[in-house]
A and B are shown apart, each in its own frame.
Chain A
Amino acid sequence: MSASAIPPGLAPVPSAAVQSGKTRLVVIGAGMASGRMLEHLLEAAPDRFDVTLFNAEPRGNYNRLMLSPVLSGEKTYEEIVTHDDGWYAAQGITCRFGEAVTRIDRAARTVHTASGETPYDALVIGTGSAPFIIPVPGKDLPGVVTYRDLEDTNAMIDAGVAGKNAVVIGGGLLGLEAAAGMAARGAKVTVIHLMGHLMERQLDPAAGYLLQRDLERRGIKVHCKGATKAILGDGKAEAVLLEDGTTYPADLVCMAVGIRPETRIATDAGLEVERGIVVDDALRTSDPHIFALGECVEHCGQVFGLVAPLYDQAKTLARTLMKEDAVFAPVQTATKLKVTGCDLFSAGDFADGPDREDIVFRDPGRGIYKRLVLKDDRIIGVVMYGDTADGNWFYGLLKDAADISGTRDTLIFGPAAGKADPLAAVAALPPEAEICGCNGVSKGAIVGAVQGGACTLDAIRTCTKASASCGTCTGLVEQLMKLTLGDDFAAPAPAGMCKCTDHSHEDVRRLIKSMELKSIPAVMQELGWKTVGGCHSCRPALNFYLLADWPLEYQDDRQSRFVNERNHANIQKDGTYSVVPRMWGGVTTSAELRAIADAADKYDVPMVKVTGGQRIDLLGVKKEDLPAMWADLNDAGMVSGHAYSKGLRTVKTCVGSEFCRFGTQDSTGLGIRLEKLLWGTWTPHKVKLGVSGCPRNCAEATCKDIGIVCVESGFQVSVAGAAGMEVKATELIATVPTEDEAVEVTTAFIQLYREHAKYLDRPYKWVPKVGLDWVIAQVVDDVENRRALVQRFEISQSVYRKDPWAEHAQPEEHKKWAPMADLSLEAAE
């Protein structure tokens, strides 16, 4: 406790101040805001106020921001004290530390604490905020802490986290600083964050991805889209359980999910309080003798969570107390994260909006992302990661609302823009500078090859291997060619996936695997996407590539799917949908037919049609009826037929040896077996199979993506047929003696197709690109490889072989399929 604090019970004699003619100023809370305000006030008017300072914490002002370096061990508490005993004594401030104000009596103009009452002429409330506690079971267990003050910080330090498991709930600024601090002390830290990416209020997904990557590199595990369900433990915290069933062991749980203004005493005193204590421009509350500042206030509907605007408030309030006219006008604030090695900067508004434009710069090699949001030729938002040196310069332009139209082209390169000519930068590199990191090719080697006659990118790749592996240095190699060849160099026309990138589909697939990219923001950042969030053409492709390559790690992004796959039904020209239940191998029962008929009646289905794929289509269903109809069909044992998906559609069969006098094998049974094995899988384009019981081929197997024709000696498996916009017979890849082998070859082929084909290539387009021989080598000849493909397919199916109808038919899902509001029912006016 501070030496100048008055022991409890010894309330100061109020009349002394009155006699001295000074204003009795009582301040509640020795926080960052009130501390700064007192400095301004007492500097300008050292003799006008008799100040009493109450603080709930048993200490005076310290720099709360710096608790993070204290937590990580980089600083001590003593180093972050801003006002020491000597300062309070010199200013004549009566310190009442460790004494919380419990009540304000506005009529008597006194404040109450456990030890009595203190009168005031003017009262300042600076109580800051309180951490928000999510109301989950276990929140009160020992071992659950928040992160606000020195006590919390010491609780984390004293828990002796080294080697133990710590879970931080909340991936915002505070949570991440807590996580990094505990990790620095040797804890195994997991961060659970509700949203899709870290610090979503300050960062866009690209920057959030880079931040997550850097944290993971230092051993902090990050779980996004994780909702905490309970903190488990017997007598103390032991684990955190999430809604999705994941549990993380936890010796210590730090809850850092947000703050709410500390307004309790103001509310009790009947002051106007909304989210915070309402103050006017002069920081006066609804009572003319009471003022407030800091995180506890609300000004023009806005509450505050960073210190910069609070310092402006401090200035304003000091002037108000001196009876000068002063107006608080909040300015944009900038955020940084105090975690060494995670360099980020964010300011202003980076939402998409009317007439806004983005300038994006990405340097995948160095993990740099910069984005400026412009409106009317002015910067209104800045998000930077990796290199934030120019952050304050942009922030200055933002605050000044400077017109940037003149420097727009080079703006993103910062104040040193003139030097940003990329060719000049490459020209300046010494000959031994490494250009291609994968193959260790120097600038000199590339220039030598160009001078030796290699004047296309392909030629360079062949003779030096530069840019022949991961491909990220392609841009640099092209710049070197341009530098060496001058005007003779014609950059190859980009054959990119779409306007967002120059990388081809094939390159992107390869890089996703080799660089282990596991999210859409990761791909966009590491491969230098030119747009902020992709487009309708690249997003579905990326979503497929990622889920095909990382079935266990990647989370399907529903919003990156085309409407049919998002709604699990085919959209029709009038916005209604068609519903097609699976009919395994084209076989049905009277009970299923009855359920389909009932559904057709119940939901007024305008047309019931037998499809070309051996099943029944209910056409013209209204979107809001889909979940209920699915539930009915589910009840009758039917699942989605995926008639809408880039995935397994139908397996068409004939009656085969069970009934047909020519049948050689049980083609119906094999078809059903294959459909039950393959359904639910996602593929680059749709996949259809046919199984015929003999070469008469009644199931039209030889014009499908995969066709099996049964013969006396076994099964002929053929692939890459077509009967749509093109018509083409399948090509035989194997004749195998057993059904098991036929199934294995088929499965392996589908997995190979899933792993390699370009999105929206049917097998008949993909196979000629890689060559039928290669396919045969992979799935027929190399038995070990075949088994490995089948195994990877099964891993993927462990996630995706499920009925999407059942997921969306849950009663609580229904309302999401209907309009969110119906204004046509409301009375006008």
Chain B
Amino acid sequence: MSFVDIGSLSDIPRQGARLVRTHLGCVAVFRTATDQVFALEDRCPHKGGPLSEGIVHGDRVTCPLHNWVFDMNTGAAEGADEGVVRTFAVRVEQGRVLIDASLLSRSAA
């Protein structure tokens, strides 16, 4: 899999997220308290809430609109709620954040 540089890890607040615009819509790139990064589609499967604005706790994020909680590793909703958000490969190398390069392509599916 090839990766593309989207910026510096320090651009993302700890326990926060930043957006990346793609042909697929916005992707939220999260940074945890321990500097792990995750990339999830920025649309809650419930009613489309922007997950990038949720509270990040451990490797979970809580949707800001109605508090569904998602496991950022799998994108799956926890507890009684059912739904999965798309996740994308992302990693950090020497302080730079790299994301799945297929997001560059218009036909990424």
A residues apposed to B, CB below 8 Å: 196, 204-205, 350-356, 358, 531-536, 539-540, 558-563, 566-567, 571, 573-575, 816, 818-829
Contacts and interface: CB of A to CB of B under 8 A. Distances in A.
Given A573-B65, A828-B104, A536 B54 contact: yes
A351 B14 CA distance: 12
B73 A355 contact: yes
A304 to B, nearest CB: 16
A330 B62 CA distance: 38
B7 interface: yes
Contacts, number: 118
Contacts of B86: none
Nearest to A201: B35
Given A204-B34, A352-B58, A820 B19 contact: yes
Contacts of B53: 563, 566-567, 571, 575
In this complex, which of A539, A559, A574, A819 has the most chain B Cβ atoms within 10 angstroms of its Cβ? A819
Contact of A533 (B4, B18, B35, B58): B58
Given A532-B58, A540-B55, A823-B99, 16 more contacts: A355-B73, A533-B58, A535-B55, A536-B54, A559-B16, A818-B19, A819-B19, A819-B21, A820-B6, A820-B7, A820-B20, A823-B103, A823-B104, A824-B23, A828-B105, A829-B105
Contacts of B12: 820
Contacts of A196: 14
B49 interface: yes
B90 to A, nearest CB: 12
A531 B58 contact: yes
Contacts of B36: 351-353
Given A353-B36, A532-B58, A575 B47 contact: no
22 contacts: A196-B14, A350-B34, A352-B33, A352-B34, A353-B36, A353-B59, A356-B59, A533-B15, A533-B33, A533-B57, A535-B55, A535-B69, A536-B62, A558-B13, A560-B55, A562-B55, A575-B49, A819-B26, A820-B20, A823-B22, A828-B105, A829-B104
A441 B46 CA distance: 53
Contacts of B6: 820-821, 823
Contacts of A534: 57
Given A350-B34, A531-B58, A571-B53, A536 B67 contact: yes
A22 to B, nearest CB: 42
A575 B50 contact: yes
B11 interface: yes
Contacts of B29: 820
Contacts of A354: 73
Contacts of A559: 13-16, 55-56
Contacts of B7: 820-821
Contacts of A562: 55, 64
Contact of A204 (B22, B33, B105): B33
B33 A571 contact: no
Interface of B: 4, 6-7, 11-16, 18-23, 26, 29, 32-36, 47-50, 53-60, 62, 64-65, 67, 69, 73, 99, 103-106
A818 B11 CA distance: 11
Contacts of B18: 816, 819-820
B21 A563 contact: no
B12 to A, nearest CB: 7
A531 B35 CA distance: 18
A821 B6 CA distance: 6
B21 A535 contact: no
Nearest to B6: A821
Contacts of B62: 535-536
B49 to A, nearest CB: 7
A705 to B, nearest CB: 25
A563 B50 CA distance: 10
A821 B58 CA distance: 25
A821 B22 CA distance: 9
A299 to B, nearest CB: 15
Contacts of A574: 48
Nearest to A572: B65
Nearest to B72: A352
Please give me the 5 A-B residue pairs with the lowest Cβ-Cβ distance, nearest first: A536-B62, A352-B59, A559-B15, A821-B6, A536-B55
Nearest to A624: B19
A571 B4 contact: no
Given A351-B36, A559-B16, A820-B19, A535 B64 contact: no
B16 to A, nearest CB: 5
In this complex, which of B13, B18, B53 has the most chain A Cβ atoms within 10 angstroms of its Cβ? B53
Nearest to A534: B57
A534 B60 CA distance: 11
B64 to A, nearest CB: 4
A355 B72 CA distance: 10
Nearest to A196: B14
In this complex, which of B4, B23, B58, B73 has the most chain A Cβ atoms within 10 angstroms of its Cβ? B58
B93 to A, nearest CB: 9
A356 B74 CA distance: 12
Contacts of B65: 571, 573
A165 B29 CA distance: 43
A358 B54 CA distance: 22
Nearest to A535: B57
A822 B32 contact: no
B89 to A, nearest CB: 11
A309 B58 CA distance: 30
A567 B35 CA distance: 22
B21 A823 contact: yes
Contacts of A531: 57-58
A358 B33 CA distance: 14
A30 to B, nearest CB: 31
Contacts of A535: 55, 57, 60, 62, 69
A465 B20 CA distance: 57
Contact of A828 (B32, B58, B106): B106
Contacts of A351: 32, 34-36
Contacts of B48: 573-575
Given A536-B69, A820-B19, A571 B32 contact: no
A571 B55 contact: no
B20 A819 contact: yes
Contact of B21 (A533, A558, A824): A824
Contacts of B99: 823
A40 B43 CA distance: 59
Contacts of B22: 823-824
A825 B22 CA distance: 8
A49 to B, nearest CB: 37
